[in-house]
Amino acid sequence: MILKIFLFGDYAPSPLIVKENDVNFAVHLDDGAMVGIFFRPKRCA
């Protein structure tokens, strides 16, 4: 069985700015596969 799915809507801006915990990340949705955004802060002792 062949399943056809059509998506509708506007294109996302490139880069798409994602804000998390007051930190902005630039995400390029049209630049290949992404597995996630990883943020590893260093601890100040």
Q: How many structural domains is the chain composed of?
A: 1
In angstroms, the Cα distances linking 35 to 2, 10, 42 are 27, 23, 22
pLDDT reported for residue 23: 86
pLDDT reported for residue 44: 63
pLDDT in tens, 6-33: 778 888 888 989 888 888 988 888 777 7
Is residue 3 scored above 70 in pLDDT?
yes
Find the domain containing 12 and state its range.
1-45
pLDDT reported for residue 6: 79
CA distance 27 to 29: 6
